Structure 1
Amino acid sequence: MAGSSDRLPIIDDDASLATRAAWLYFAAGLTQSEVAERLNIQSTKAHRLIARASREGMIRVFVEGPVAECVALENTLAQRLGLAFCRVAPDLGEGDLPLKALALEGASFLRQILERGDDKVIGVGHGRTLAAVIEQLPRTPAREVQFVSLLGGLTRKFAANPFDVIHRLSERTGAEAYLLPVPVFANSVADRAVLMKQYGIADVFALARQASLLFVGIGQISRDGFLVSSGMIKPEEVVELKRVGACADLLGHFFHEDGRVLDIDLSARATSMSADDLRKHRIVAIAGGLPKLTALRAVLRSGMLHGLITDEATAQALASDKPEATSGTRRTKGRK
């Protein structure tokens, strides 16, 4: 399908999931409970998916098709990058911005998390990719879950509406959702301290710290990137970021290509958790597209990520890297 201008095919989420479950069970040799844990689903559903794969003739000596290749990439990247898991979206021929593929894979992941029900407080970030994920998310009742924004939601361009992610999540799930009605970046470190102490805002910030899962995007540093186009920062601030070697952004924190979190004034003014606090959480990032490779490598080198959702072309590029080029600090076992 790569390069095709025809209409994109309708993708059956459960059929794709059945293929993944079959590959993990028959080819990778995992037990049904291990398959359930890897796919974030209940054991009974894993059993049904494997049975469906057998019933519908998906099982031969090996599982055919691009999804099997993606699962092989997932295993390679998870082991090489020290991640608890990786999910790779099959190529849909979208070019440099595989938004549809990422959105479908991200929505599938989020739906499985909600169906499993282990995470009662889920923190979410901003960005075009996350917004596209919510657009693809089917209505999934999750009234026992609380969603909370991990970063302030006000920008210089109010029409950009970066916090719409949190509102749409509430509409699709019926869950409670909390946003931070403060600027993404305060005018000064002192202003940030005052804002964070305000009634209501402090409560939302405390709830964000309780989140057992943080679902975030990764930004690249460029004049036409989301940070500038949404009005979060000024073009001249991009110049300063590049001067200090920043190439990636995650929740208002900026990364050098070697994985270091840069200690700069702009980060200190971000209305999000500190980098040290973020490291205590289970962070799953969704990001893809070859133009974002440098940013993605930088965040991976930091060792902050628990899991990664990306597209096939980006995964292949990461897999072709030398192991030492992207390997981060392995996440603590048991934090799944």
Structure 2
Amino acid sequence: MTGGSGKSLRARSQDEAIIEVTWCYYQDGMNQNEIAERLGISRATVVNYLSEARKRDYVRISLDSDIFRNQDLARRLVDRFGLQDAIVVPSAPGGSDQSLDRVTRVVADWLPSLLAPGDRLGVAWGETVYRVAEAAPRITVDDLTVVQLVGSRPAALGFAAETCSATLARRYGAHCVNLHVPLLLSERDLADRLKQEPVIRMQLEAVADCNKTLFACGTCTEDSHVVHTGLLDPSEVDACAEQGATGVICGRLIDRDGNGLNRDIEDRMIAVTLDQMRGKDMGLLVGAGENRAKPMLAAIRGGYATHVATCSETAAEMLKIG
């Protein structure tokens, strides 16, 4: 009993110390050495406490998204491709993965300003969308419904569709509509029957009824998400490329103009259709990396995107080839 109480007291004391260190650093403007001296702890402990504070979401560091909306490359993307808006962050010196991290963090801060009460936000899947959801601030967006756009499918590192939608809904205090079916069925008849189940039919109606979407357009290479999740066999990659496959939206392959390839697998999938992804009040397309320019352009040409978020290198490549 005593040991438990002592442990609880130590935990409370550490929590208070983390809060005190955080306040001194971010509110009082003290440096780490000054904080260590004031509190009688080591500088290494100060560093650890500040790191812990960020992990616990005690502190959220963000930049005004208008900085990136008004960037020259962002304005050029809007003008060239007829977008409603765009945001471009500086590419990271560490490569595509770090650039994507920058983009998704900025999108997480930008997205709430693009939402309004009563909106129905359709959320896709994959690493990019997952990163946005994980970086999203804990705020309340009034009367928001978040809808899972594709059925469930095993995905690496938690990038599954239901995780993306549920995480974002939780962050925004929104109602969540999950799509409780597999993304891919073994037979078309089975997929058709499942779609007619009352609960599933209601969920698919919510998918079709979304007025805004958050998505990425993936690649069609052997190391792409669509291959890792089994929606495209590695042996089919070259054949699909010959047919013009340029990108992937919600598991569906598109050509350079955004038209679907209409593979046989389409009839066995339960997910938002390409037609349902077009003509939204907002279609926020997120992506970064040297291999993302062509897929993102295909999504824009196809009418799926009204807003784009990317890094400076990807934006420059889009303008070069678009």
Q: TM-score range by the shorter chain?
A: 0.7 to 0.9
SS at match of 2:137: coil
Match of 1:155 in 2: 154
Q: Name the residue aligned to 1:71.
A: 71
Q: Secondary structure at the match of 2:171?
A: helix
Asked whether 1:107 is paired with 2:95, we answer: no
| SS of the residue 2:83 aligns to | coil
In the TM superposition, what are the counterparts of 1:138-153 in structure 2 within 5 Å?
138-142=137-141, 144-153=143-152
Return the letter of the residue paired with 2:200. I
> How far 1:90 moved relative to its partner?
2.4
Match of 2:135 in 1: 136
The equivalences for 1:269-308 within 5 A come to 269-282=268-281, 283-308=283-308
Query: What is the distance in 2 between the residues matched to 1:11 and 1:90?
Result: 20
- CA distance change for structure 1 residues 269 and 244 in 2, over 3 Å: closer, same or farther? farther
Q: Deviations over 1:182-205 (max 9, x none)?
A: 222232333322121112111111
Tell me, in whole angstroms, the C-alpha distance in 1 between the residues paired with 2:239 and 2:192: 23
Q: CA-atom RMSD, angstroms?
A: 2.5
Contact 1:248 1:256 (8 Å CA) reproduced = yes
**Could you tell me the TM-score, scaled by structure 1's length?**
0.70
Structure 2 equivalent of residue 126 of structure 1: 125
- Partner deviation per Cα, 1:224-264 (whole Å, 9 max, x = no partner): 11122234443334354334221210112211124332222
Deviation at 1:273, TM superposition (A): 2.8
Distance 1:157 1:190, change over 3 A: farther
Secondary structure (helix, strand or coil) at the match of 1:309 reads strand
Show CA shifts across 1:81-118 (max 9, x none): 1211111122232312322111112101223234xx24
Identity %: 21
TM-score normalized with structure 2 length: 0.73
Mapping of 1:137-286 within 5 angstroms?
137-142=136-141, 144-155=143-154, 161-282=160-281, 283-286=283-286
Question: 3-state DSSP class of the match of 2:178?
Answer: strand
Partner residue in 1 for 2:25: none
2:198 aligned partner, one-letter code? Y
**Range that drifts further, 159-168 or 118-127:** 159-168
| 2:117–2:144 contact (8 Å) kept in structure 1 | no
**Cα contact 2:285–2:296 (8 A) shared by 1:** no
Letter in 1 for 2:240: L
In structure 1, C-alpha distance between the alignment counterparts of 2:230 and 2:261, rounded to whole Å: 21
CA distance in 2, matches of 1:75, 1:81: 10
Q: Which residue of 1 aligns with 2:22?
A: none
Amino acid at match of 1:308: V
CA deviations 1:170-227 (Å, max 9, x no partner) are 3212211121122222323333221211121111111122211011111101121112
CA distance in 1, matches of 2:153, 2:223: 19
Distance 1:79 1:152, change over 3 A: same
CA distance in 1, matches of 2:114, 2:296: 23
The secondary structure found in structure 2 opposite 1:79 is helix
Shift of 1:270: 2.7
1:244/1:310 CA distance change after superposition, 3 Å: same
Which deviates more, 71-80 or 256-265?
A: 256-265
The Cα of 1:159 is off from its aligned counterpart by: 6.5
1:288-314: CA deviation from partner (whole Å, max 9, x where unpaired): 111222222222222332111111110
- Matches of 2:312 and 2:318, distance apart in 1: 10
Deviations 1:26-59 (A, max 9, x none): xxxxxxxxxxxxxxxxxxxxxxxxxxxxxxxxxx
Structure 1 gaps of 5+ residues are 1-9, 21-66, 327-336
Equivalent-residue separation in structure 2 for 1:176 and 1:307 (angstroms): 24
